[in-house]
Amino acid sequence: MEPRLCLDDLLAQSRTVGFDAAGVAPVEKLTKNRKVLEQWLAEGCHAGMMYMARNIEKREDVTLLVENARSVIVTLTNYYTPAAQPPTAPLIARYAYGKDYHIVVKDRLRQLMQALGDIPGRCFTDSAPLFEHEWARRAGLGWIGKNTLLIHPVYGSFCFIGIIVTPLAFDRYSRPVEASHCGTCTRCLDTCPTGALAPRCLDARRCISYHTIESKDPLPEDIKKAAGNRLFGCDRCQEVCPWNSRAEKNRVPEFAPDPAVLRLCREDWLAMDELTFKQLFCDTPCERAGLEKLRNTVKEQCD
Protein backbone atom coordinates (compact mmCIF):
# COMPACT_ATOMS: atom_id res chain seq x y z
CA MET A 1 0.00 0.00 0.00
CA GLU A 2 1.35 3.39 -0.96
CA PRO A 3 2.50 5.55 2.01
CA ARG A 4 0.40 8.62 2.69
CA LEU A 5 1.18 11.75 4.68
CA CYS A 6 -0.95 12.41 7.75
CA LEU A 7 -3.05 15.59 7.81
CA ASP A 8 -2.88 15.80 11.62
CA ASP A 9 0.91 15.58 11.42
CA LEU A 10 0.96 18.40 8.86
CA LEU A 11 -1.15 20.63 11.11
CA ALA A 12 1.03 19.94 14.15
CA GLN A 13 4.33 20.39 12.33
CA SER A 14 3.17 23.59 10.64
CA ARG A 15 2.48 25.14 14.04
CA THR A 16 5.87 24.02 15.31
CA VAL A 17 7.59 25.64 12.34
CA GLY A 18 5.70 28.86 13.01
CA PHE A 19 2.79 29.00 10.56
CA ASP A 20 -0.51 30.33 11.88
CA ALA A 21 -2.69 28.01 9.80
CA ALA A 22 -2.30 25.22 7.28
CA GLY A 23 -4.32 22.82 5.16
CA VAL A 24 -4.00 20.61 2.12
CA ALA A 25 -5.98 20.10 -1.07
CA PRO A 26 -5.86 17.33 -3.67
CA VAL A 27 -4.48 18.29 -7.06
CA GLU A 28 -7.08 19.13 -9.71
CA LYS A 29 -7.03 21.21 -12.86
CA LEU A 30 -8.31 24.74 -12.17
CA THR A 31 -9.99 25.21 -15.54
CA LYS A 32 -12.70 27.54 -14.23
CA ASN A 33 -10.09 29.82 -12.65
CA ARG A 34 -8.12 29.85 -15.90
CA LYS A 35 -11.18 31.07 -17.81
CA VAL A 36 -11.74 33.86 -15.28
CA LEU A 37 -8.09 34.88 -15.60
CA GLU A 38 -8.23 34.89 -19.38
CA GLN A 39 -11.29 37.16 -19.32
CA TRP A 40 -9.54 39.49 -16.85
CA LEU A 41 -6.52 39.64 -19.14
CA ALA A 42 -8.69 40.23 -22.22
CA GLU A 43 -10.19 43.27 -20.47
CA GLY A 44 -6.71 44.66 -19.81
CA CYS A 45 -7.07 44.61 -16.03
CA HIS A 46 -3.49 43.39 -15.57
CA ALA A 47 -2.15 46.79 -16.73
CA GLY A 48 1.62 46.39 -17.28
CA MET A 49 1.96 43.07 -15.43
CA MET A 50 2.73 41.06 -18.54
CA TYR A 51 3.87 38.08 -16.47
CA MET A 52 0.23 37.47 -15.59
CA ALA A 53 -0.36 36.44 -19.21
CA ARG A 54 2.50 33.95 -19.21
CA ASN A 55 2.44 30.32 -18.08
CA ILE A 56 -1.36 30.22 -17.84
CA GLU A 57 -1.28 26.48 -18.45
CA LYS A 58 0.85 26.05 -15.30
CA ARG A 59 -1.65 28.06 -13.25
CA GLU A 60 -4.35 25.68 -14.42
CA ASP A 61 -2.33 22.49 -13.95
CA VAL A 62 0.25 22.30 -11.12
CA THR A 63 1.59 18.99 -12.47
CA LEU A 64 3.43 21.17 -14.99
CA LEU A 65 5.29 22.68 -12.03
CA VAL A 66 5.80 19.45 -10.10
CA GLU A 67 5.64 16.19 -12.05
CA ASN A 68 3.00 13.75 -10.75
CA ALA A 69 1.83 16.29 -8.15
CA ARG A 70 -0.96 14.93 -5.97
CA SER A 71 -1.25 17.39 -3.07
CA VAL A 72 -1.07 21.16 -2.55
CA ILE A 73 -0.11 22.11 1.01
CA VAL A 74 -1.06 25.69 1.88
CA THR A 75 0.13 27.75 4.85
CA LEU A 76 -0.80 31.17 6.22
CA THR A 77 1.51 33.53 8.06
CA ASN A 78 -0.06 36.50 9.84
CA TYR A 79 1.90 39.71 9.22
CA TYR A 80 -0.38 42.25 10.92
CA THR A 81 1.14 44.77 13.29
CA PRO A 82 -0.69 47.58 15.11
CA ALA A 83 2.43 49.74 14.76
CA ALA A 84 1.82 52.51 12.30
CA GLN A 85 3.42 55.56 10.73
CA PRO A 86 2.17 59.08 11.40
CA PRO A 87 -0.76 59.70 9.03
CA THR A 88 1.10 62.55 7.30
CA ALA A 89 4.22 60.49 6.52
CA PRO A 90 4.88 58.78 3.15
CA LEU A 91 2.95 55.59 3.89
CA ILE A 92 4.26 52.05 3.37
CA ALA A 93 1.90 49.07 3.28
CA ARG A 94 2.14 46.90 6.40
CA TYR A 95 3.39 43.87 4.51
CA ALA A 96 6.57 45.81 3.70
CA TYR A 97 7.39 46.97 7.25
CA GLY A 98 9.69 44.03 7.97
CA LYS A 99 11.89 41.52 6.20
CA ASP A 100 10.89 40.36 2.72
CA TYR A 101 8.23 37.67 3.12
CA HIS A 102 9.65 35.70 0.21
CA ILE A 103 12.72 35.00 2.34
CA VAL A 104 10.93 34.34 5.64
CA VAL A 105 8.03 32.21 4.38
CA LYS A 106 10.08 30.15 1.95
CA ASP A 107 12.59 29.31 4.68
CA ARG A 108 9.73 28.06 6.87
CA LEU A 109 8.27 26.06 4.00
CA ARG A 110 11.59 24.27 3.61
CA GLN A 111 11.62 23.58 7.34
CA LEU A 112 8.11 22.14 7.07
CA MET A 113 9.12 19.85 4.21
CA GLN A 114 11.98 18.53 6.34
CA ALA A 115 9.74 18.13 9.40
CA LEU A 116 7.33 16.01 7.34
CA GLY A 117 10.14 13.59 6.48
CA ASP A 118 12.10 15.59 3.90
CA ILE A 119 9.25 15.14 1.45
CA PRO A 120 9.71 15.63 -2.31
CA GLY A 121 8.20 18.65 -4.02
CA ARG A 122 8.66 22.39 -4.46
CA CYS A 123 7.75 25.35 -2.28
CA PHE A 124 6.48 28.71 -3.43
CA THR A 125 5.41 32.02 -1.97
CA ASP A 126 4.19 34.46 -4.59
CA SER A 127 7.03 33.15 -6.74
CA ALA A 128 5.37 30.93 -9.35
CA PRO A 129 2.30 30.91 -11.61
CA LEU A 130 -0.20 29.56 -9.07
CA PHE A 131 -3.78 30.42 -8.17
CA GLU A 132 -2.70 30.87 -4.55
CA HIS A 133 -5.98 32.21 -3.19
CA GLU A 134 -7.97 29.42 -4.79
CA TRP A 135 -5.65 26.74 -3.41
CA ALA A 136 -5.93 28.33 0.03
CA ARG A 137 -9.72 28.22 -0.23
CA ARG A 138 -9.60 24.58 -1.28
CA ALA A 139 -7.29 23.87 1.66
CA GLY A 140 -9.92 25.22 4.05
CA LEU A 141 -8.11 28.42 4.99
CA GLY A 142 -10.76 30.98 4.13
CA TRP A 143 -12.80 32.49 1.34
CA ILE A 144 -11.94 35.01 -1.37
CA GLY A 145 -13.33 38.36 -0.33
CA LYS A 146 -14.83 41.10 -2.44
CA ASN A 147 -11.42 42.83 -2.39
CA THR A 148 -9.96 39.70 -4.11
CA LEU A 149 -7.93 38.77 -1.01
CA LEU A 150 -8.16 35.56 0.99
CA ILE A 151 -9.96 36.11 4.30
CA HIS A 152 -9.33 33.72 7.19
CA PRO A 153 -12.04 33.72 9.89
CA VAL A 154 -9.48 34.33 12.66
CA TYR A 155 -6.53 36.08 11.00
CA GLY A 156 -8.44 38.12 8.43
CA SER A 157 -6.57 39.08 5.27
CA PHE A 158 -3.24 40.31 6.65
CA CYS A 159 -1.61 36.96 5.79
CA PHE A 160 1.10 35.65 3.49
CA ILE A 161 0.29 32.45 1.60
CA GLY A 162 2.94 29.74 1.30
CA ILE A 163 2.53 26.65 -0.87
CA ILE A 164 4.19 23.26 -1.16
CA VAL A 165 3.32 21.11 -4.17
CA THR A 166 4.23 17.46 -3.61
CA PRO A 167 3.73 14.17 -5.48
CA LEU A 168 2.73 12.53 -2.18
CA ALA A 169 -0.87 11.89 -1.15
CA PHE A 170 -2.49 12.45 2.26
CA ASP A 171 -4.61 10.19 4.41
CA ARG A 172 -7.35 12.82 4.13
CA TYR A 173 -7.72 16.37 2.86
CA SER A 174 -8.96 19.64 4.32
CA ARG A 175 -12.54 20.66 3.71
CA PRO A 176 -12.78 23.53 1.17
CA VAL A 177 -14.50 26.74 2.21
CA GLU A 178 -17.51 26.93 -0.08
CA ALA A 179 -19.36 29.94 1.33
CA SER A 180 -18.33 33.58 1.35
CA HIS A 181 -18.79 35.34 4.67
CA CYS A 182 -18.64 38.88 3.31
CA GLY A 183 -22.43 39.04 3.29
CA THR A 184 -23.82 42.35 2.06
CA CYS A 185 -20.77 44.31 3.24
CA THR A 186 -19.16 46.48 0.55
CA ARG A 187 -16.78 48.55 2.70
CA CYS A 188 -13.70 47.48 0.75
CA LEU A 189 -15.32 48.42 -2.57
CA ASP A 190 -16.70 51.72 -1.29
CA THR A 191 -13.47 52.89 0.31
CA CYS A 192 -11.03 52.12 -2.53
CA PRO A 193 -9.56 55.58 -3.29
CA THR A 194 -9.52 55.02 -7.06
CA GLY A 195 -12.51 52.73 -7.61
CA ALA A 196 -10.20 49.90 -8.66
CA LEU A 197 -12.36 47.21 -7.05
CA ALA A 198 -15.48 45.44 -8.19
CA PRO A 199 -16.71 42.35 -6.33
CA ARG A 200 -13.80 39.88 -6.47
CA CYS A 201 -12.17 41.75 -9.34
CA LEU A 202 -9.28 44.21 -9.26
CA ASP A 203 -8.48 46.55 -12.14
CA ALA A 204 -4.74 47.12 -11.76
CA ARG A 205 -4.93 50.14 -14.05
CA ARG A 206 -6.70 51.94 -11.20
CA CYS A 207 -4.82 50.32 -8.29
CA ILE A 208 -2.54 52.41 -6.09
CA SER A 209 -0.49 49.35 -5.12
CA TYR A 210 0.17 48.57 -8.77
CA HIS A 211 1.24 52.11 -9.59
CA THR A 212 3.47 52.56 -6.52
CA ILE A 213 5.08 49.09 -6.60
CA GLU A 214 4.86 47.35 -9.98
CA SER A 215 4.69 50.16 -12.53
CA LYS A 216 7.87 51.77 -13.82
CA ASP A 217 6.00 54.85 -15.08
CA PRO A 218 5.30 58.11 -13.23
CA LEU A 219 2.01 58.20 -11.35
CA PRO A 220 -0.91 59.23 -13.60
CA GLU A 221 -2.38 62.51 -12.38
CA ASP A 222 -5.70 61.02 -11.25
CA ILE A 223 -3.95 58.19 -9.39
CA LYS A 224 -1.49 60.61 -7.79
CA LYS A 225 -4.34 62.74 -6.47
CA ALA A 226 -6.20 59.73 -5.08
CA ALA A 227 -3.06 58.12 -3.62
CA GLY A 228 -2.33 61.08 -1.39
CA ASN A 229 0.79 60.27 0.63
CA ARG A 230 0.78 56.52 -0.05
CA LEU A 231 4.36 55.74 -1.02
CA PHE A 232 4.47 51.95 -1.37
CA GLY A 233 1.26 49.97 -1.63
CA CYS A 234 -2.17 50.59 -0.15
CA ASP A 235 -3.90 48.85 2.77
CA ARG A 236 -7.19 50.75 2.60
CA CYS A 237 -9.44 47.85 1.55
CA GLN A 238 -7.98 45.73 4.34
CA GLU A 239 -8.14 48.41 7.01
CA VAL A 240 -11.92 48.78 6.67
CA CYS A 241 -12.69 45.04 6.46
CA PRO A 242 -14.69 43.92 9.53
CA TRP A 243 -12.81 40.62 9.53
CA ASN A 244 -9.61 42.57 10.25
CA SER A 245 -11.10 44.56 13.13
CA ARG A 246 -9.81 42.00 15.65
CA ALA A 247 -6.53 41.28 13.87
CA GLU A 248 -3.83 40.07 16.24
CA LYS A 249 -0.20 41.14 16.16
CA ASN A 250 1.96 38.69 14.27
CA ARG A 251 4.49 36.52 16.09
CA VAL A 252 7.27 36.70 13.52
CA PRO A 253 10.32 38.64 14.74
CA GLU A 254 11.49 39.27 11.17
CA PHE A 255 8.29 41.22 10.46
CA ALA A 256 8.79 43.67 13.34
CA PRO A 257 8.97 47.20 11.88
CA ASP A 258 12.11 49.26 12.40
CA PRO A 259 11.12 52.31 14.49
CA ALA A 260 13.44 54.40 12.32
CA VAL A 261 11.40 53.44 9.23
CA LEU A 262 8.13 54.35 10.94
CA ARG A 263 9.53 57.81 11.75
CA LEU A 264 10.55 58.70 8.19
CA CYS A 265 9.00 61.94 6.92
CA ARG A 266 8.98 63.52 3.45
CA GLU A 267 12.15 65.47 4.15
CA ASP A 268 13.97 62.30 5.21
CA TRP A 269 13.04 60.58 1.95
CA LEU A 270 14.07 63.53 -0.20
CA ALA A 271 17.46 63.77 1.54
CA MET A 272 18.10 60.00 1.72
CA ASP A 273 21.24 58.55 0.13
CA GLU A 274 21.83 55.00 -1.06
CA LEU A 275 23.80 53.99 2.04
CA THR A 276 21.01 55.07 4.39
CA PHE A 277 18.43 53.37 2.19
CA LYS A 278 20.42 50.13 2.27
CA GLN A 279 20.75 50.30 6.04
CA LEU A 280 17.02 50.83 6.54
CA PHE A 281 15.58 48.58 3.84
CA CYS A 282 18.03 45.73 3.21
CA ASP A 283 16.11 42.48 2.53
CA THR A 284 12.72 44.22 2.61
CA PRO A 285 10.11 44.60 -0.15
CA CYS A 286 11.03 48.29 -0.43
CA GLU A 287 14.60 47.38 -1.37
CA ARG A 288 13.31 45.76 -4.56
CA ALA A 289 11.56 49.00 -5.53
CA GLY A 290 14.77 50.96 -5.06
CA LEU A 291 15.48 54.39 -3.63
CA GLU A 292 15.14 56.24 -6.95
CA LYS A 293 11.57 55.08 -7.58
CA LEU A 294 10.47 55.72 -4.00
CA ARG A 295 12.10 59.13 -3.80
CA ASN A 296 10.56 60.11 -7.15
CA THR A 297 7.15 59.10 -5.83
CA VAL A 298 7.64 61.38 -2.80
CA LYS A 299 8.67 64.21 -5.12
CA GLU A 300 5.56 63.71 -7.25
CA GLN A 301 3.39 63.83 -4.12
CA CYS A 302 4.99 67.14 -3.18
CA ASP A 303 4.22 68.74 -6.57
160 neighbors 79 (Cβ within 8 angstroms): yes
Q: What is the DSSP letter of 198?
A: E
User: What gap in Å lies between CA 58 and CA 78, rounded to an integer?
Assistant: 27
Inter-CA distances, 48 with 41, 44, 45, 207, Å:
11, 9, 9, 12
Q: Which of 9, 61, 126, 268 is catalytic?
A: 126
What is the DSSP pairing of strand 91-92 with strand 230-232?
Answer: parallel
CA dist 94 → 72, 77, 144, 256 (Å): 27, 13, 20, 10
Note if 203 is an active site residue.
no
Q: Which residues contact 268 (CB under 8 A, 6 or more apart)?
A: none
Catalytic center residues = 126
